[in-house]
Amino acid sequence: MVATATAIQQFTGLSDAECTARIKAAKAALGDRLIILGHHYQREEVFVHADVSGDSLKLSRAAADSKADYIIFCGVHFMAEVADILSRPEQVAMLPDLSAGCSMADMANLTKVERAWQEIARVLDPDEHVTPVTYINSAADLKAFCGRHGGIVCTSTNAQQILEWSFARREKILFFPDQHLGRNTAAKMGISLDEMVVWDFDQPFGGLTKEQIRNAKMILWKGFCSVHQMFKPEHIDRFRAMYPEVKVISHPEASYEVCQMSDYVGSTEYIINTVADSAPGTRWLVGTELNLVTRLHEQHKHEDKSVHFMSPTVCMCSTMFRVDPQHLLWQLENLVDGNVVNQISVPASDADEARDALQRMLAIR
Ligand code: 13P
Ligand code: SF4
């Protein structure tokens, strides 16, 4: 007989050390029936329990390829949704804390995107001229929107290939929710800033004239990541003045100015690999989330590499941080008892169309 689910309150006071020991025991009891996916921004006490760690693209593929009955996603809500959409129907995707969202993903919603689409339709036929591209950091119904309008999903790793795919089909892109990833990627492809406009989702027609919409190649949603917008050109200037030899590497969610000043720009996985492959003694200034930068420093300090965080103020992804060992243990021990808590289940109506958009992406890269 299945026991009643144990409440989270019984776990919140436990020490991290006790959680670690019990998480290991629960994982051993669940064996191959479980896989834990961990995003690079997870705090160390959680990250150590991941069976697979990676950026959004790598973890999406891991979810799609997994044979486990239960997929626990130590990350944020949209990531667990992707795991649910790409896994088989009988597999269960789970998120340790349901309040672990993404503030950038929340900057776009279906009502506003559909309104934008209708407003663009008063200037030109979007289904003929505009490919909707959503960053994977978005809700499942926005991926479904892209699925039904011939659009696609991208991650920070494959954004350029996805934009190339999109421009091969239609001459314009509506890119949401992150303006910075859209701008940085398009600029790298040689599209000038004059050919990009920002769609202010709180204004009629995005705050743009019909002519601006007609002339734009990239229509960039006015969303941003509150963590990555903290990195500023002056942080790089100040650091370079002290250490002229420093190598600067940033995530493409950082601003155009920061990315232009950086020596390297890429996803979390790219940042990790680039730092790992660098020569001993290299000094790095990194513009991405603090937990990852701290881990990189710890991993490479014995090679005499020093890895510094770009901002002078502490800026972590506070929603990623909501996943703690206590919630993970709560979920695992309930699973051992046969109870699923915090399942993420995308309604079939959204999941089917969202899968189309995700599979178009996975077929490219
Ligand atoms: P990555 O796909 O590069 O890991 O990025 C995910 C994310 O949310 C960065 O803020
Ligand atoms: Fe979202 Fe930014 Fe956190 Fe990434 S770092 S999950 S984009 S809020």
Structural domain containing residue 283: 228-309
272 and 198 co-located in one domain = no
Asked, for residue 34, whether it belongs to a domain, the answer is yes
- Residue 17 CA to ligand 1 center (angstroms) comes to 28
Same domain (yes/no): 222, 109: yes
Closest-lying ligand 2 atom to the alpha carbon of residue 103 = 8
Q: Is residue 273 a part of any domain in this protein?
A: yes
State whether 114 and 221 are in the same domain.
yes
Q: Is residue 45 part of a domain?
A: yes
Q: Domain with 91 in it: what CATH number?
A: 3.40.50.10800
Ligand 1 centre from 304 Cα, in Å?
27
Q: Which residues form the pocket of ligand 2, taking CB atoms under 6 Å from any ligand atom?
A: 76, 102-104, 137, 225-227, 253, 289, 317, 319-320
* Alpha-carbon separation of residue 256 from 103, 206, 229, 326 (angstroms): 20, 21, 10, 38
Q: Which two tokens stand for residue 98?
A: 């349901």
Question: Do residue 50 and residue 152 come from a single domain?
Answer: no
**Does any domain span residue 163?**
yes
pLDDT tens-place values along the chain, 365 residues long: 566 899 999 999 999 999 999 999 999 999 999 999 999 999 999 999 999 999 999 999 999 999 999 999 999 999 999 999 999 999 999 999 999 999 999 999 999 999 999 999 999 999 999 999 999 999 999 999 999 999 999 999 999 999 999 999 999 999 999 999 999 999 999 999 999 999 999 999 999 999 999 999 999 999 999 999 999 999 999 999 999 999 999 999 999 999 999 999 999 999 999 999 999 999 999 999 999 999 999 999 999 999 999 999 988 999 999 999 999 999 999 999 999 999 999 999 999 999 999 999 999 98
For helices 16-30 and 325-336, the axis angle rounded to 10 degrees is 30
Distance, in Å, from the CA atom of 79 to the CA atom of 96, rounded to the nearest integer, reads 12
pLDDT for residue 17: 97
3-state SS of the chain is CCCCCCCHHHCCCCCHHHHHHHHHHHHHHHHHHEEEEEECCCCHHHHCCCCEEECHHHHHHHHHHCCCCEEEEECCHHHHHHHHHHCCCCCEEECCCCCCCCCCHHHCCHHHHHHHHHHHHCCCCHHHHEEEEEECCCCHHHHHHHHHCCCEEECCCCHHHHHHHHHHHCCEEEEECEHHHHHHHHHHCCCCHHHEEEECCCCHHHHCCHHHHHHCCEEEECECCCCHHHCCHHHHHHHHHHCCCCEEEECCCCCHHHHHHCCEECCHHHHHHHHHHCCCCCEEEEECCHHHHHHHHHHHHHHCCEEEECCCCCCCCCCHHHCCHHHHHHHHHHHHCCCCCCECCCCHHHHHHHHHHHHHHHHHC
Last residue of a domain, one of 226, 257, 284: 226
Ligand 2 atom nearest residue 39's Cα: 6
Q: How many domains does the chain have?
A: 3
In a domain? residue 239: yes
Q: What pTM does this model have?
A: 0.97
Residues 115/145, Cβ–Cβ less than 8 Å = no
Note whether 109 and 163 are same-domain residues. yes
pLDDT at 2: 60
How far does the centroid of ligand 2 lie from the alpha carbon of residue 225, in Å? Answer: 6
Residue 177 sits in the same domain as residue 68: no
The pLDDT, as a whole number, for residue 365 is: 80
Residue of the CA atom closest to atom 6 of ligand 2: 102
Q: Which of 41, 59, 104 to mutate to test the pocket of ligand 2 (most atoms within 8 A of CB)?
A: 104
Residue 350 covered by a domain? no
